[in-house]
Chain A
């Protein structure tokens, strides 16, 4: 390694090199500006939640981070490289699990799709599929079709398929928006334990402010028309988080008030 490179690395470490960075990112679709001049840096291992009123461009920001959209201006970088197309180390969990899963494949088959994409040899696949199904709490459901599973189970399956990519980064688009409250809380804790254990970086889009504070290290509130950052809150709540203790924490309540006030203000 050259001296210059080593110096650069040292400098980067001091700054805390972002894993994902939006630099003056603007996205226009069909003559409409959806996102304008977005600047956001996500550090490795960080859990960042994005909230905002509907139509504020939260999902669009996530798609930019995933490489599913290319910015009209500015850049989105991953590890310093421009994110012009999806990468294998970045996995996307879509909200509509019912549409994102292949209805003609079993649970095992759906996970297998990610392994086939990564060209994992077929004799290794079964073992890895079993391990992934256990990891997301679906052991023994390998031969079920998505239509035979509940919403919560389908979303677990989609998460398992994403984990099969062995991603360093998970991008989650309102993943629990369509689930009932109990299922949602269970999955929140599972996502936390899965991602904290492996130091996975997460960008999590949600319209549920409590969920954002409960999960995140940082919460970004977007302003609508066009989408831009309106508020940025560091969440200094102790980890591991607990559904009762964390949600009763005075700091949680303070942040919750702050975020609600922000969202209310954007709606006028």
Chain B
């Protein structure tokens, strides 16, 4: 259960060089959150940034479970959704009764809602880890999602519950009507939550979570109850998921059953895992990638979710540490200055790999048009190159690219492995270890 999630960097390593890197990473993160919307000024990009911010908090909260404690949950959206619903009800109540609570405090309502439900549900579901926990989280997720359609007065049935964020009292003249103000609200909570969640990993509890993830039996021997540790971790994850849900409710001004559903739980799992569970910022990267994919791919192709699934399968099979671990793999080479030894092999491997990818994409698109249109005629455009669907040439190109690309790519990746080993050996000789 643990091989995959146990590659977090060692905490005791406090070399000055690493400290600089640590503050640099946080500095870049905070500056990026604050400055990016000033560079990209269009309303569309502000919406995108808001979605990314929400997804990042949600994915970070998920990583408390998956990365820190080794709990694979298929129902994390329950706390996100309940946080969202409670936040909407809270906002409506504040507006109706004229309470002096400005909007920036509303995410706390969602957070405490997530916390309360995690406290209730968590005790049963964290009794065991591993596959059993995964199944229970799935079952509870389905239970809550189905119940939300029955309890209409609270969840609003299929339509959901709407609210109006501008009805709340303004703060410093901000009424949070424009998207940019909502973005900065999300960014504020993103920074606060990220710092809080990072601090959590540094507490004794966070360390115990890692211990429970790696060796629960040993944890029992030294006098801790793994169940309690898992439970506490689960409660914190629920709290931050609730904050993310409340921010989503503020952003969309609606909460509906989709917030709680299996799709939402799946997306956060995808984001966290694609980003990488071994590093704290992995889920943030994953949230950026997945949100951008969701927004951009859906414009380009009708079967974007299939590509999404293929990317996920590819990450699971070939880079189970996620994108961050792929990047961090190169750090010792970069420090030792042996990275240039690998780059030529990368460039050689890149060509057949891209051709293979093009072949797969072409095949999928042909199949998609063929089965949806039915007629099988017409042209599709791939990177602005027109392909005639009726001609056998197109099929041939797709087949050659896919099969040929696959075999050539496999050969060239062996070259990459060799070059990698050579570069790594030199790096080790110079005293830089992975």
The finding on whether chains A and B are genuine partners in a shared complex, rather than unrelated, reads no
A→B interface (CB under 8 Å): none
B→A interface (CB under 8 Å): none
